Amino acid sequence: MSAPLLLIDIDGTLLPLGPVEEGTSIRYGRKMRLPVRWPVVQAVAGLSAAGVEVIWLTTWTDELALRLGEQLRLPQFQVPAQVDEPARRPTWWHGWKSRTALSIVEQRRPRRWAWADDDIPTTVRSRLRREHPEGLVIAPDGQTGLTAAHMTRIEEWLLKEPIRDVVHQLNTALGPTIVAALSGATISTLPERWVEHDGPIPSPQEKERLRAAHRIWTQLADAEGPDLARAWLIGDNPVLEQAPYLALRAGAVDEAVAAAAAFTTGTWSL
């Protein structure tokens, strides 16, 4: 089996079709502006850096996808050839994307894979989930595209970093009290118990906040060092109008991730 695999569409998936409050836009060509969620773009780049093979499953040509990737500061991802319908072979895979996705999966045989596209038919999604338990299908609303919550789910699926390890790293970096606060836990000692092999397990909401905090911490620590990363997470933030760890606690996951991305890319502004 090969490395984890992410198949990702562009229009309506990586790039929302509509404007996004916490996002921005980039100029593409002479007159076109494309909405962008930088936290999502950076999460895709992070998956690639972590060893995930990322493939564009899109109608964009190689040249157009390459130009877009350069503007988004992404590595060069492959645009595969479309798989046509075999002669005399009826199939339930309606559409070239479904056939191409399965062809790639059959060739690569990844231990885990994910496919994100805003236009995957319900019948295809249902059968994929039934026949390919190693696959994760994400079909975001095309107007909003992928969100930080979607990327957290994809990262967890592909990289399978146990939540216990995530909590341990956060406890070491920030201290259990801060970790309890950002997760929304009502008991300050829970983060210490979460790392125990027979301890309790965080709730889905707590997991989402913990993984978002871990992604923010890793991103900031890699870019600016652990001391500044900790200071950023616990200090007042004029963009969020509160400390980022408190924003996470309040459920503003996308906003906190976006603020961290803006800080590291130098696009932060009041």
Same domain for 19 and 141: yes
- What pLDDT, on a 0 to 100 scale, did the predictor assign at position 90? 45
Quickly state the pLDDT bin for 22 (edges 50, 70, 90).
low
Q: Is the pLDDT of residue 36 over 60?
A: yes
170 and 186 share one domain: yes
What is the DSSP code string of the chain?
A: -B--EEEE-TBTTTB-SS--TT-EEEEETTTEEEEE-HHHHHHHHHHHHTT-EEEE-SSS-HHHHHHHHHHTT----B-PPPPPPPTT---S--SHHHHHHHHHHHHH-BSSEEEE-TT--HHHHHHHHHH-TTEEEE---TTT---HHHHHHHHHHHH---HHHHHHHHHHHH-HHHHHHHHT-SSTTHHHHHTSTTS----HHHHHHHHHHHHHHHHHHHHH-HHHHHHHHHS--TTTTS-HHHHHHTT-HHHHHHHHHHHHHT----
Please write the tens of the pLDDT for every residue from 195-249: 887 788 888 789 889 988 998 998 898 888 999 999 999 999 988 999 999 999 9
CB 213 within 8 A of CB 170: yes
pTM (2 d.p.): 0.63
Tokens 């060893």 correspond to 51
pLDDT at 113 over 90: yes
Based on the fold, state whether residues 169 and 154 are members of the same structural domain. no
Assess whether 38 and 142 both reside in one domain. yes
117 pLDDT band, cuts 50/70/90, is: very high
- Rounded average pLDDT over 140-159: 89
170 and 116 in a common domain: no
Answer yes or no: do 149 and 252 share one domain: no
Pair 20, 145 in one domain: yes
Q: Is residue 13 part of a domain?
A: yes
Confidence of residue 253 (pLDDT cuts 50, 70, 90): confident
Listed residues 159, 174, 199: the one ending a domain: 159
Q: Which two tokens stand for residue 173?
A: 């970096």
pLDDT at 23 > cutoff 90 = no
- Averaged over 179-200, what is the pLDDT? 90
Q: Does position 1 have pLDDT exceeding 60, yes or no?
A: no
Residues of the domain holding 142: 5-159
User: Last residue of a domain, which of 106, 132, 159?
Assistant: 159
Same domain? For 145 and 58 the reply is yes
pLDDT in tens, 132-149: 888 999 999 999 999 988
pLDDT(86) > 70: no
Distances (CA, A) of 175 to 169, 171, 222, 233: 9, 4, 19, 12
Q: What is the mean pLDDT of residues 253-263?
A: 86
pLDDT confidence tier of residue 92, bands split at 50, 70 and 90: very low
CB 183 within 8 A of CB 249: yes
Whole-number pLDDT of residue 101:
92
Asked if residues 149 and 43 have their Cβ atoms less than 8 Å apart, the reply is: no
Select from 45, 51, 48, 41 the least CA-distant residue to 13. Answer: 41
Q: Give the total number of structural domains in the chain.
A: 2
What average pLDDT does the chain have? Answer: 86
pLDDT band at 125 (very low <50, low <70, confident <90, very high): confident
CA separation (Å) from 26 to 15, 38, 60, 150, 159?
Answer: 10, 10, 17, 22, 30
- Percent of the chain clearing pLDDT 90 (strictly above): 40
Q: What is the CATH number of the domain that holds 89?
A: 3.40.50.1000
Q: How far apart are CA 103 and CA 99, in angstroms?
A: 6
Is there a single domain that holds both residue 79 and residue 97?
yes
Q: Is 270 part of any domain?
A: no
